[in-house]
């Protein structure tokens, strides 16, 4: 009988196997075999001692003692390799029961399994491990070495992590074939022979994906198979399996997408918490809001006992918003008062599309009374009942800004920040940390952001909700995110929306802070950020099209590129400079993630003519990276760029400004910057400049910024930003 025609666990169930007990968390090996059989994953032929046993006398079998919450039977002496004999089975099972009960476990039954003939490749490890677990990333499969030395072998060959929602079995097969265990199984190491075929592995992986759907329907949260070994036909066979059930967490109910329009273009705004004190939080928010052009009467204050305050109309409470709703309600109130106002708003069933909770102390380390949990439960219950709820930003909502509309809801005085570019753009910046967003605004005020939002604690509106709303637009533009952690139910929606954005051609970049134990503790203390399996999180998001930055410097560099070229495409990069050190250091960054451009013979000849025309032919070699030396004037740069741009996807121009041959002030600088930018536009190629010099050359940098050319202070930053993308 071939393995794929042997009786499955479903058959064993009919022959006396324990039925699944849905209310009990632990899933025994007998129950697990039933699920494996449904997915055609070929568990051993088996039966329960005391029931019908499908074996002939003398047939080699394995007897296992099953106990509740017993995950490692061999440690309790509950595994025996014997020849089948009913009387001996009964005797051995009785001994196993005594040992399991003596260890404090409930006895379930004895499981008798066929002893499967296995293959090995010499002394090489040949046993695998597979598991399925339900996580915030959805169902995830792990695959790697199994057996007693699995932990040690994982250091040599890390476990494969496959988020099933964003991967197919065929994609997993490619990774399995490259894994050390896959290479051993397929005989792709020196002096080894094939034990199986890619097709056998594909069938196993298909079954694993089916098993996840079955486990979901059965309410499981975990199913482990260890070991998984190859039989004589090369079929992967799970030789042991256990699992666990766990109730599903309530589904996270996101806000309606209309909150994004309310943030971008609010037609009516209300603010609570304004006092007469100049410099207070509420007063500063009001000062910033006054610059946003609203019709008279559409910026209102909530202030009991007053009809007007600071020349603005006042409402006694949020109850008055029912008759005249606002798009945006900002609560610059202490935590308890803000929670009371928000509760009233939700219970009255209307009044504001979007609410910003400025205060902290709600759902973070300073919340000692459970305010955050009470509000989250109220939101969930109200949405689950189909009743109206607002979209809530924060707590710790530092504010948001739409530069082109002069909209700024932060409590930071304008004198503390450089005026942002108001030309408008497609780049969206999302941050859990308000300070991070402010620092980006301060460092790169020239970037034409379309929207910036400090999401704070994400009690309601989360990163994924903003991405989801953007993904419904025809041309959403790139999104840059600073993340300290994903709360329950937030990771999978973020990944789904990132996949949609990727399909739309919109870059999503992410800087993930809180990657160490200390970082996670710090994040939890000020934003309540959650930290999970970081490797799994990164695997899921990278497979969803998200680009990660390793440092904030990389993040800033990537912002600069995306602000000028929102749909920057991958391709070879050419480097043109007047400094040898930039050529050398730039070349060090080229590699698999950043390809260096190569000149065609025709371009090499054209470049030779350019160098000759500028009397540089005896000084400069016509090759990439192109070092024009300090002898080059602006005209040489422009002529060389005309040759290089068709040969590359991106051109980076290094301008070390100390030479007399570059005009770094006034009309000369502006003229060169304008011509270089026009050349890039004509060729329809991204171009950036690097000016590695001190503050004395601020005017020179400004000329290129004003011309719309991304400008960097180091060659490394320009190229690292490209490498991220």
Note the pLDDT of residue 520.
Answer: 43
Q: Give pLDDT, residue 223.
A: 97
485 and 541 part of one domain = yes
pLDDT tens digits along 43-93: 999 999 888 899 999 999 999 999 999 999 999 999 999 999 999 999 999
Residue 644 Cα distances to 251, 456, 522, 677, 678, angstroms: 54, 45, 48, 14, 15
DSSP symbols for 518-543: HHHHHHHHHH------HHHHHHHHHH
- Is the pLDDT score of 9 beyond 90? no
pLDDT of residue 532: 53
Domain that holds residue 511: 259-564
Cα separation, 552 vs 433, whole angstroms:
13
Lowest mean pLDDT among 399-403, 440-444, 643-647: 440-444
Average pLDDT for the chain: 91
Residue that finishes a domain, picked among 88, 114, 140: 114
Looking at the structure of the chain, the number of domains it has is 4
121 lies in some domain:
no
Within a domain: residue 209? yes
Average pLDDT over residues 482-491: 91
Statement to judge: residues 312 and 425 lie in one domain: yes
**Residue 370 pLDDT grade (very low, low, confident, very high; cuts 50, 70, 90):** confident
Same domain? For 542 and 599 the reply is no
Q: CB-side exposure of 135: number of CA atoms within 13 Å?
A: 24
CB 576 within 8 A of CB 625: yes
Q: What is the pLDDT of residues 233-255, one digit of tens each?
A: 999 999 999 999 998 877 889 99
Strand partners for 452: 401, 429
The reply to whether 489 and 360 lie within a common domain is yes
Percent above pLDDT 70 for the chain: 94
Domain membership flag for residue 39: no
Report pLDDT digits (tens) over 633-647: 999 999 999 999 999
pLDDT at residue 64, rounded to an integer: 97
Residue 199 domain-assigned?
yes
Same domain membership, residue 488 and residue 357: yes
Does one domain contain both 195 and 277? no
Give me the CATH number covering residue 653.
Answer: 3.40.50.261
Residues 673 and 717 occupy one common structural domain: yes
Q: For position 448, what pLDDT does the model report?
A: 86
Q: What is residue 521's predicted lDDT score, i.e. its pLDDT?
A: 42
What percentage of the chain carries pLDDT values higher than 90? 81
Mark which of 564, 599, 634 sits at the end of a domain: 564
Same domain, yes or no, for 138 and 241? yes
Domain stops at, among 516, 546, 564:
564
Predicted local confidence at residue 515, as pLDDT: 60
CATH number at residue 137: 3.30.470.20
Using the predicted structure, report yes or no on whether residue 489 has a pLDDT greater than 60.
Answer: yes
Domain membership flag for residue 554: yes
Q: Which residues pair with 328 in a beta bridge?
A: 269, 354
Q: Per-residue confidence at 618, pLDDT binned at 50, 70, 90?
A: confident
Task: Judge if 207 and 227 occupy the same domain.
Answer: yes
Q: Say what the pLDDT of residue 194 is.
A: 96
For 497-548, the pLDDT digits (tens) are 999 999 999 999 999 996 654 444 444 433 444 445 888 999 999 999 999 9
The 10s digit of each residue's pLDDT in 87-105 is 999 999 999 999 999 999 9
pLDDT of 124 > 70? The answer is yes
Q: Same structural domain for residues 635 and 603?
A: yes
pTM: 0.84
In a domain, 37, yes or no: no
Residue 123 domain flag: no
**Confidence (pLDDT) at 11:** 39
Does residue 436 lie in a domain region? yes
Residue 115 to residues 37, 238, 415, 640, Cα–Cα distance (Å): 17, 12, 78, 73
- Residue 528 is predicted with a pLDDT of 40
Domain co-membership, 220 together with 276: no
Of 413, 456, 407, nearest to 436 (Cα)? 456
- The reply to whether 325 and 279 lie within a common domain is yes
């Amino acid at each position: 009988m071939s393995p794929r025609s042997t009786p499955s666990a479903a058959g064993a169930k009919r022959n006396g196997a324990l039925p699944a007990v849905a209310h009990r968390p632990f899933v025994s090996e007998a129950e697990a075999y039933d699920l494996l059989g449904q997915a055609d994953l070929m568990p051993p032929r088996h039966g329960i001692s005391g029931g019908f046993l499908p074996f002939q006398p003398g047939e080699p079998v394995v007897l296992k003692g099953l106990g509740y919450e017993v995950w490692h039977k061999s440690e309790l002496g509950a595994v025996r390799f014997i020849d089948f004999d009913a009387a001996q089975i009964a005797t051995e099972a009785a001994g196993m029961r005594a040992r399991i009960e003596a260890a404090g476990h409930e006895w379930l039954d004895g499981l008798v399994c066929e002893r499967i003939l296995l293959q090995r490749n010499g002394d090489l490890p040949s046993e695998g491990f597979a598991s399925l677990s339900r996580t915030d990333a959805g169902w995830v499969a792990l695959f790697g070495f199994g057996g007693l030395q699995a932990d040690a072998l994982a250091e040599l060959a890390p476990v494969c992590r496959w988020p099933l929602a964003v991967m197919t079995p065929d994609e997993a097969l490619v990774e399995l074939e490259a894994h050390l265990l896959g290479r051993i199984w397929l005989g792709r190491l020196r002096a080894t022979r094939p034990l199986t075929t890619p097709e056998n592995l594909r069938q196993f992986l298909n079954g694993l994906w089916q098993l996840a759907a079955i486990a979901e329907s059965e309410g499981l949260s975990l199913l482990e198979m260890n070991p998984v070994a190859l039989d004589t036909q090369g079929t992967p066979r799970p030789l042991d399996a256990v699992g666990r059930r766990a109730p599903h967490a309530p589904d996270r109910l996101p806000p309606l997408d209309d909150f994004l329009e309310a943030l971008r273009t609010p037609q009516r705004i209300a603010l609570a918490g304004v006092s007469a004190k100049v410099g207070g939080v509420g007063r500063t928010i009001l000062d910033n809001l006054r610059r946003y052009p609203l019709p008279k009467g559409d910026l209102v204050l909530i202030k009991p006992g007053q009809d007007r305050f600071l020349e603005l109309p006042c409402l006694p409470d949020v109850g008055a918003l029912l008759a005249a709703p606002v798009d945006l309600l900002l609560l610059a109130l202490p935590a308890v008062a803000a929670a009371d106002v928000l509760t009233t708003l939700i219970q009255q069933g209307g009044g504001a599309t979007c609410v910003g909770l400025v205060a902290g102390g709600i759902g973070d380390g300073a919340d000692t009374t459970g305010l955050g949990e009470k509000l989250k439960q109220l939101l969930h219950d109200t949405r689950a009942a189909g009743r109206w709820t607002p979209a809530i930003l924060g707590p710790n909502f530092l504010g948001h800004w739409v530069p082109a509309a002069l909209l700024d809801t932060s409590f930071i005085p304008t004198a503390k920040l450089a005026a942002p570019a108001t030309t408008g753009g497609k780049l969206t910046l999302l941050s859990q940390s308000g300070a991070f967003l402010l620092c980006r605004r301060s460092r790169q005020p020239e970037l034409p952001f379309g929207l910036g939002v400090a999401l704070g604690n994400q009690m309601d509106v989360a990163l994924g909700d903003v991405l989801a709303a953007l993904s419904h637009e025809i041309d959403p533009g790139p999104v840059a995110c600073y993340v300290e952690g994903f709360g329950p139910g937030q990771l999978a929606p973020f990944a789904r929306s990132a996949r949609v954005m990727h399909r739309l051609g919109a870059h999503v970049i992410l800087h993930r802070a809180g990657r160490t134990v200390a970082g996670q503790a710090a994040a939890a203390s000020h934003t309540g950020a959650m930290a999970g399996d970081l490797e799994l999180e990164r695997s899921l998001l990278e497979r969803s099209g998200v680009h990660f930055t390793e440092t904030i410097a990389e993040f800033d560099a990537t912002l600069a590129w995306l602000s000028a070229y929102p749909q920057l495409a991958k391709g070879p990069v050419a480097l043109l400079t007047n400094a040898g050190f930039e050529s050398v250091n730039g070349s060090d960054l080229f590699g698999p993630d950043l390809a260096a451009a190569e000149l065609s013979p025709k371009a090499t000849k054209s470049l030779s003519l350019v160098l000759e025309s500028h009397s540089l032919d005896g000084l400069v070699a016509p090759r990439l990276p192109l070092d024009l030396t300090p002898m080059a004037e602006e005209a040489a740069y422009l002529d060389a760029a005309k040759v290089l741009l068709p040969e590359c996807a991106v051109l980076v121009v290094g301008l070390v400004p100390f030479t007399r041959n570059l005009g770094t002030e006034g009309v000369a600088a502006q003229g060169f910057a304008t011509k270089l930018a026009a050349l890039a536009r004509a060729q329809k190629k991204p171009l950036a400049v690097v000016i590695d010099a001190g503050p004395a050359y601020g005017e020179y940098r400004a000329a290129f910024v004003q011309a719309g050319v991304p400008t960097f202070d180091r060659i490394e930053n320009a190229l690292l930003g490209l490498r991220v993308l």
